[in-house]
């Protein structure tokens, strides 16, 4: 079964953006760890229903000083503020990931440069097999697909750090995408229909990317609207 797993937000300041999102929504945040090979740190805000926001920024100053590719990309994408970087789907069936990869003409991968270091080591598992990688999905304004066989240790279940927010998410309900439904269907192929992703999808006909997310909370519905990623030409 395929559904939405998480939504990546790129920022030039991990802590500022996380605090801003918590203030705007009331949601608490957890520390998601970091990727040594990419210089990225993460904070996570659960939207409920095993969906979460993944806030990322460069936390390794050497990556900035050395003008590493990821640091340059983050700088480019966040020049006009925080942005929705990636819409990430999941499947509990590895065959579905393989089918999607075949449709996209690629090979699934579990490689993430340098791996990931989690602040709560027992949470999560080894890097998920996924397709395509972010360069060939997010940077095109398109979703990618991860193999998540077990939700028992899902990142959305990490307890928020005390004092970061008392509101709890009750589930993602709607998203706004650029492009058209026909274009998303073409991207996804036969692996899943957009209507079967479990949320209402509005298409604004603009450049590809994610523009807004709406979700329920214990304090009523919330909508977050950020810049979409600037698709790579």
Q: Give the confidence band of 83 by pLDDT, cuts at 50, 70, 90.
A: very high
The DSSP element (H or E) to which 201 belongs, if any, is strand 200-203
3-state SS, residue 88: strand
Task: Tell me the CB-side half-sphere exposure of residue 138, using CA atoms within 13 A.
Answer: 21
Q: Per residue in 109-149, pLDDT tens?
A: 887 765 778 777 656 555 689 999 999 999 999 999 999 99
The strand pair at 144-147 and 83-91 is best described as parallel
For 36-100, give the DSSP string: TTTTEEEEEEEEETTEEEEEEEE--HHHHHTT-HHHHHHHHHTTTS-EEEEEEEEES-HHHHHHH
Q: Per residue in 92-109, pLDDT tens?
A: 999 999 999 999 999 998
pLDDT(182) > 60? yes
Quick one: DSSP state of residue 10? Answer: E
The pTM of this model reads: 0.95
Q: Per residue in 31-81, pLDDT tens?
A: 999 999 999 999 999 999 999 999 999 999 999 999 999 999 999 999 999
Does the domain at 2-157+166-228 match CATH 3.40.50.410? Answer given as no
Average pLDDT over residues 150-175: 95
Calpha distance 34→102 (Å, rounded): 30
The number of beta carbons lying within 10 Å of the beta carbon of residue 199 is 18
pLDDT at 111: 73
C-alpha closest to that of 56 among 37, 72, 79, 33: 33
Task: Tell me the CB-side half-sphere exposure of residue 144, using CA atoms within 13 A.
Answer: 25
3-state SS, residue 220: strand
Mean pLDDT of the chain: 94
């Amino acid at each position: 079964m395929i559904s939405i797993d998480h939504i990546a937000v790129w920022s030039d300041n991990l802590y500022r953006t996380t605090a801003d999102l918590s203030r705007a929504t009331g949601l608490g945040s957890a520390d998601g760890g970091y990727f040594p090979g990419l210089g990225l740190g993460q904070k996570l805000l659960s939207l409920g229903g095993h969906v979460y926001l993944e806030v990322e920024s460069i936390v390794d100053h050497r990556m900035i000083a050395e003008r590493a590719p990821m640091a340059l990309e983050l700088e480019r994408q966040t020049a006009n503020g925080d942005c929705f970087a990636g819409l990430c789907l999941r499947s509990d069936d590895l065959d579905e990931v393989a089918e999607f990869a075949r449709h996209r003409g690629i090979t699934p991968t579990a490689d993430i440069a340098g791996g990931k270091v989690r602040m709560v080591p027992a949470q999560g598992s080894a890097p998920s097999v996924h397709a395509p990688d972010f360069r060939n999905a997010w940077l095109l304004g398109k979703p990618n697909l991860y193999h998540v066989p077990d939700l028992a240790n899902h990142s959305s279940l990490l307890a928020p750090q005390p004092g970061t927010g008392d509101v709890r998410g009750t589930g993602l309900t709607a998203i706004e995408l650029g492009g058209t439904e026909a274009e998303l269907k073409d991207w996804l192929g036969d692996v899943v229909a957009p209507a079967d992703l479990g949320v209402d999808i509005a298409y604004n006909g603009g450049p590809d990317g994610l523009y807004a997310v709406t979700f329920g909370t214990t304090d009523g519905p919330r909508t977050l609207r950020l810049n979409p990623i600037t698709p790579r030409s």
